[in-house]
């Protein structure tokens, strides 16, 4: 469903630094349809950059990205993003719009009728466990972190995209809400058959949620596999340290 082949991205240096920043280096990765792949790695290892290459929020300098059978470089980004839901850290909700308006955003942009937008919004709010009668008309600031996150997920599902990209979707939540939302999400996922790429700092979360885990370090993909693969057959000393909790402390950023 998603194929990355030798992708790389170099950013020009920060103001007082002469060396360019290699954010992603020669990464190849296949995500089959229906898989939930977790991208993990220390802060600055290139997770967000790699994720954004899939929906063309970042254009790679080299390599190719395929979604379905198309090279994304040849697909209109707006059209591409209709088929790819995107959930960003902390929900990214519009503060001056209601919950219903936030969830229905893509429907309005696509020219859906008011009634069909409303019906779909209500259906999605039910699905993420937020009864529309209680939540639809509230502003996002009145919601808890977990509720805002669910609104962000509902919004990403609006057009029923086959692919969902999630960048630290549970990162801002307290541990209790986090494990609750995570389990609700797993339950939701079982009924959806989506291809999902989810970025996380949290190794336990990656192993809990992911069918496979891809570990990035300094822009390079060190290993992709199941928990068992990474624990029993680490391909690299860094992988071994990371999975045993001894690597560079994963910092929330």
Ligand X SMILES: Nc1ncnc2c1ncn2[C@@H]1O[C@H](COP(=O)(O)OP(=O)(O)OP(=O)(O)O)[C@@H](O)[C@H]1O
What is the binding site for ligand X (CB under 6 A)? 11, 21, 23, 41, 43-49, 201, 253
Interatomic CA distance for residues 243 and 181, integer angstroms: 24
Going by the DSSP 8-state scheme, the letter that residue 202 receives in this structure is -
32 vs 77, beta carbon nearer ligand X: 77
Q: Select from 132, 131, 126, 166 the least CA-distant residue to 149.
A: 166
46 vs 107, beta carbon nearer ligand X: 46
- The tokens describing 214, both together, are 């891809």
Asked whether position 55 contacts Mg ion by CB under 5 A, the answer is no
Q: Which does 149 bind (CB under 5 to 8 A by kind): ligand X, Mg ion, none?
A: none
CB of 148 to Mg ion, least distance (A): 19
Q: Which does 21 bind (CB under 5 to 8 A by kind): ligand X, Mg ion, none?
A: ligand X
* Phi and psi at residue 221, to the nearest 5°: -85, 110
Contact stretch for Mg ion (CB under 5 A) within 47-55, 70-78, 137-145, 222-230: 47-55
Q: Which does 66 bind (CB under 5 to 8 A by kind): Mg ion, ligand X, none?
A: none
Interatomic CA distance for residues 22 and 222, integer angstroms: 15
CB of 24 to Mg ion, least distance (A): 12
**Beta-bridge mates of residue 39:** 199, 214
Interatomic CA distance for residues 169 and 228, integer angstroms: 24
Interatomic CA distance for residues 75 and 52, integer angstroms: 15
Single out the residue of 2, 24, 37, 48 in contact with Mg ion (rule: CB under 5 A): 48
Give the residues lining the site for Mg ion (CB under 5 A).
Answer: 48
């Amino acid at each position: 469903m998603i194929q990355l082949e030798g992708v790389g991205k170099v950013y020009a240096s920060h103001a007082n630094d002469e060396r360019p920043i290699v954010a992603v280096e020669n990464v190849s990765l296949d995500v089959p349809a229906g898989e939930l792949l977790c991208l993990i790695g220390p802060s600055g290892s290139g997770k967000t950059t790699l994720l954004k290459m899939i929906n063309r929020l970042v254009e790679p300098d080299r390599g190719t990205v395929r979604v379905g059978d198309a090279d994304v470089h040849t697909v209109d980004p707006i059209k591409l993003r209709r088929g790819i839901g995107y959930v960003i850290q902390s929900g990214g909700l519009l503060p001056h719009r209601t919950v219903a308006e936030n969830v229905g955003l893509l429907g309005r942009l696509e020219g859906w009728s008011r009634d069909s937008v409303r019906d779909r919004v209500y259906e999605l709010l039910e699905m993420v466990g937020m009864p529309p009668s209680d939540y639809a008309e509230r502003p996002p600031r009145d919601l808890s972190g977990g509720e805002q996150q669910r609104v962000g997920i509902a919004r990403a599902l609006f057009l029923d995209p086959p692919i969902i990209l999630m960048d630290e979707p549970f990162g801002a939540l307290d541990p209790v809400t986090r494990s609750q939302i995570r389990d609700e999400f797993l339950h939701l996922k079982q009924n959806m058959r989506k291809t999902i790429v989810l970025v996380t700092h949290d190794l336990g979360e990656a192993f809990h949620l992911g069918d496979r885990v891809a570990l990035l370090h300094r822009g390079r993909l060190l290993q992709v596999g199941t928990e068992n693969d990474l624990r029993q057959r680490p391909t690299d000393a860094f992988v071994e340290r990371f999975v045993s909790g001894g690597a560079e402390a994963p910092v929330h950023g």
